[in-house]
Amino acid sequence: MYTLPSLEITRTYKAIAVLTSGGDAPGMNPAIRGVVRAALGQGIRVFGINRGYSGLIAGDMEEMNSASVSNIVQRGGTILKSDRCEGFKRPEVRAQAAEILRNHSIDALVVIGGDGSLTGAHLLFEETGIDVIGLPGTIDNDIFGTDDTIGFDTAVNTALDAIDKIRDTATSHERHFLVEVMGRNSGFIAINVGMAAGAELIVVPERAVEVSQISQELAESRQAGTGSSGIIVVAEGPEPGLTYRLAERLREHNQDPRVCILGHIQRGGSPTGHDRVLATCMGAMAVRYLCAGYSDIMVGVRDGRILDVPLHDVISFRKGLDPTLLDLALQVHR
């Protein structure tokens, strides 16, 4: 469980709104439920905005009650839908969004999403004065200021379940499989999945890959009778097609790997118990922080403690893999 801060109520709100933005992540629904139930408990009206910032600038919102969030904690995706809104990058569009919120007598906005979504929230506050609280909703776990993000645990377990099945075929046919997991600029999913799956090799954006070295290690393990088959976990990387290019280069070195792209199955599915608890705590604490006078922050978790992180810091710094963990993961799988 998490340690929650004790906050004194210093202000009240007539109404707040909540939206989910960017890529969907398992656990967004429990987070929405946490926001709605906590706000209603404080006598605050809650509006759910559909389709993220795109829905906000279109005025697509509806008031929510307790029944609106009943029976949703086990559902993947987001009941409010999501979108990536390029228009929200423009100041005039953010000003329009603030006006729409004020016309609905909405005093604050809770944004659940990744770094791009949280950047939009920070700029909305900075330019218009609308109170905002961000929640880290992304399977990549690459948000600065928090040890964990909503959806990461579920994505890891989804990928792990798939790899366990792929390994059966790899063993039966004495083949190596390159299994691609999500992570364009971050290897958090790949490292965690690779360690949990006992992968023979792990390829992440944070560490340059030498195809000749990989090929040599595979050949040596095959000759030694310790690695006639196996799993190589590959983070997708910033450029599409990395895993296929890696497979082709390995074939040039007399290897014959198979490729499996897990893709968007990592985003879907029922959230794990871990993600449900994390999301619920973060959603409820977003309302508590607002009522305690906080704004322009993200609710994060560090060493088991729920805490507030300035959104300016969240969007200004990059969360990287622990080099010690990376070295350990690569060492134990060689």
Q: Which tens digit of pLDDT belongs to each residue from 295-325?
A: 999 999 999 999 999 999 999 999 988 888 8
Domain count, the chain: 2
Same domain, 27 and 141: yes
Do 114 and 143 meet the contact criterion of CB atoms below 8 Å apart? yes
174 in any annotated domain: yes
Is residue 140 in a domain?
yes
Residue 315 DSSP SS3: helix
- What was the pLDDT predicted at 286? 98
Q: What is the pLDDT of residues 168-223, one digit of tens each?
A: 999 898 888 999 999 988 899 999 999 999 898 899 988 877 777 777 776 666 66
148: closest CA among 275, 31, 298? 275
**Looking at the structure, do residues 80 and 139 belong to the same domain, yes or no?**
yes
Q: pLDDT at position 222, please?
A: 62
User: For residue 253, what pLDDT is reported?
Assistant: 77
201 close to 214: Cβ distance less than 8 angstroms: yes
Could you count the other beta carbons within 10 Å of the beta carbon of residue 73?
21
Span 23-43, mean pLDDT?
A: 98
User: Which two tokens mark 145?
Assistant: 């200021």
The verdict on 60 and 146 lying in the same domain is yes
- The pLDDT score that the predictor gives to residue 92 is 98
If asked whether residues 43 and 142 sit together in one domain, one would say yes
My answer on whether 48 and 118 are in the same domain is yes
Q: Which of 131, 140, 148, 153 is catalytic?
A: 140
What is the pLDDT, as a whole number, of residue 333? 53
CA distances (Å), 287 to each of 32, 42, 133, 217, 304, in order?
11, 9, 8, 52, 19
- pLDDT at position 208, please? 76
**Residue 223's pLDDT is what?**
61
Range of the domain at 60: 15-151+271-316
What would the two tokens of residue 214 be? 């990989």
- Say whether 151 sits in a helix, a strand or coil: coil
Residues 23 and 136 in one domain: yes
Asked if residue 131 lies in contact with residue 290, where contact means CB atoms within 8 angstroms, the answer is: yes
- pTM here? 0.94
Confidence (pLDDT) at 201: 87
Is position 5 within any domain? no
Q: What is the pLDDT of residue 224?
A: 59
164 is catalytic: no
Predicted confidence at residue 308, as pLDDT, reads 98
Are 140 and 49 contacting, i.e. CB atoms less than 8 angstroms apart?
A: no
Backbone angles phi, psi at 82, to 5 degrees: -150, 165
pLDDT tens for 228-280 read 568 999 999 888 898 998 888 888 877 888 999 999 999 999 999 999 999 99
- Residue pLDDT, tens place only, 122-169: 999 999 999 999 999 999 999 999 999 999 999 999 999 999 999 999
User: Phi/psi of residue 34, each to 5°?
Assistant: -60, -40
Q: Collapsing DSSP states into helix, strand and coil, what is residue 206?
A: coil
Average pLDDT (18-22) is: 97
Burial degree of 159 (CB within 10 A; 0-12, 13-18, 19+): buried
